[in-house]
Structure 1
Amino acid sequence: MNKVIDYEQDFYSWALHHAQLLREGRFAELDIEHLAEELEDMGKSDRRAIENRCIILIAHLLKWEYQPSHRGSSWKRSIDEQRLRIDRLIRKNPSLKPYLSAAVADVYLDAVKLAAQETQIPASQFPQECLYSIEQMQDENFYPNN
């Protein structure tokens, strides 16, 4: 007798069970709707990761540009790390590369808000749209006003 594992009650067991069903070719027993939902969510999580990395990268580029007297190795390391992580996400998921421009446009004001909070510079002092190109953001040698 097969025990039915409820998606809502125990996701981890449900996922393991469905992986086993797939391996065994027991396709008729699959919870197709929830499997499709989870696959879509996996793709969305990579998009969210790109967005989160872009927020941090842009905020630190803004801080670097607007507070040159406060530049330090931690800001540089953060910029470098975000670039590396964005690059890695795109290398592992090349179909995300075209999404990068949309992600930057979408999260830019969040990055401004973060930069404003961390620098005490009013958000209105920053440009209303991102002036850094995707190429600059990915260029390991680009630091604004350097």
Structure 2
Amino acid sequence: MSAIYRADFNLWIQQTAQLLRSHRWHEIDVEHLIAEVEDLGKSERRGITSQLTRLLLHLLKWQYQPQRRSDSWLDSITDARTQIDLALKDSPSLKGYPIEQLEESYQRARRQAVKQTGMLISVFPEECTYSLELILDEDWLPE
């Protein structure tokens, strides 16, 4: 099974699922299965962090470039909130993860905002001034 894992990942998934369904435990590529299960958790966390960064970027642009506000920014804000909410509903154990990632995501969003707006980094506060509750509130936008 290890050779299949390296040669054709999708085939490995299909065969592993079939082995699990058939209770053929001794044939399962346990080492790679464990690694893939662990990667699922990392992927969920990365997704939340990515959406939080995107959300913060658009909130910053919304606040500091009011003349450029657009429906696409609003769509991005709404979608990021929705994706975070869905991820947390699927994995309630990650409920505290956004607050853990808030400052790091904010710093990433701040740097991206500088690149996208052409504004000086000093325009954007050094630390996030939005509470997580407001950031995730579907009815809130910074003014």
TM-score (norm 1): 0.91
Paired residue total: 143
1:137 has 2:139 as partner: no
Q: CA deviation at 1:124?
A: 2.7
Amino acid at match of 1:50: I
Is 36-45 or 103-112 further displaced after alignment? 103-112
Which residues of 2 match residues 46-61 of structure 1 at below 5 A?
A: 46-61=44-59
Amino acid at match of 1:40: E
Q: CA deviation at 1:4?
A: 7.2
| Structure 2 contact 19–27 (Cα < 8 Å) conserved | yes
| Structure 2 contact 57–109 (Cα < 8 Å) conserved | yes
Q: CA deviation at 1:139?
A: 0.7
Structure 1: segments with no counterpart, 5+ residues: none
| Structure 2 contact 2–29 (Cα < 8 Å) conserved | no
Q: 1:4 to 1:140 in 2, by over 3 A?
A: closer
Structure 2: segments with no counterpart, 5+ residues: none
Separation of aligned partners in 2, 1:99 and 1:48: 10
Separation of aligned partners in 1, 2:64 and 2:26: 59
| Runs of 4+ residues deviating >4 angstroms | none
Separation of aligned partners in 1, 2:96 and 2:137: 17
Q: CA RMSD in A?
A: 1.5
Amino acid at match of 1:120: G
Q: CA deviation at 1:21?
A: 0.6
Q: Whose helix proportion is higher, 1 or 2? A: 2
| Structure 1 contact 60–75 (Cα < 8 Å) conserved | yes
